[in-house]
């Protein structure tokens, strides 16, 4: 499995660059990934991130944009405002 280094953290990723081991993720990695696409994480960003991590832990799959809206309470338009490059990624 490919490895990448983000802000000094060695992370396992798939062919598309998605993290494959949730245990390797932490807040510092999140900040570094956000910085790579020009985002400074706000409290609202963290609400979305925390929802996604919690939902994944419960369900074993990544929430869709629609689920983030319905279960996470973050409207689709706001998701695109928060994460303008690719909110689903």
pTM above 0.95, yes or no: no
Return the SS3 of 1: coil
pLDDT in tens, 56-89: 999 999 999 999 999 999 999 999 999 997 777 7
Beta bridge partners of 10: 5
- 7-52 pLDDT, tens per residue? 899 999 998 888 899 899 999 999 999 998 899 999 999 999 999 9
C-alpha span between 35 and 66 (Å, rounded): 25
Residues in the chain, total:
89
Tell me the CB-side half-sphere exposure of residue 41, using CA atoms within 13 A.
17
| Structure confidence at residue 88 (pLDDT) | 73
For the segment 1-13, what is each residue's pLDDT rounded down to a tens digit?
789 999 899 999 9
């Amino acid at each position: 499995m490919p490895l990448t280094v983000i802000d000094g953290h060695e992370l396992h990723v798939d062919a598309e660059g998605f993290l494959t081991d949730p245990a390797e993720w932490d807040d510092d990695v999140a900040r570094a990934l956000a910085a790579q696409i020009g985002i400074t994480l706000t409290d609202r960003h963290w609400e979305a991130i925390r929802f996604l991590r919690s939902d994944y832990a419960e369900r074993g799959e990544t929430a869709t944009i629609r689920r983030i809206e319905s279960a996470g309470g973050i409207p689709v338009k706001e998701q695109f405002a928060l994460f303008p490059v690719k909110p689903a990624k």
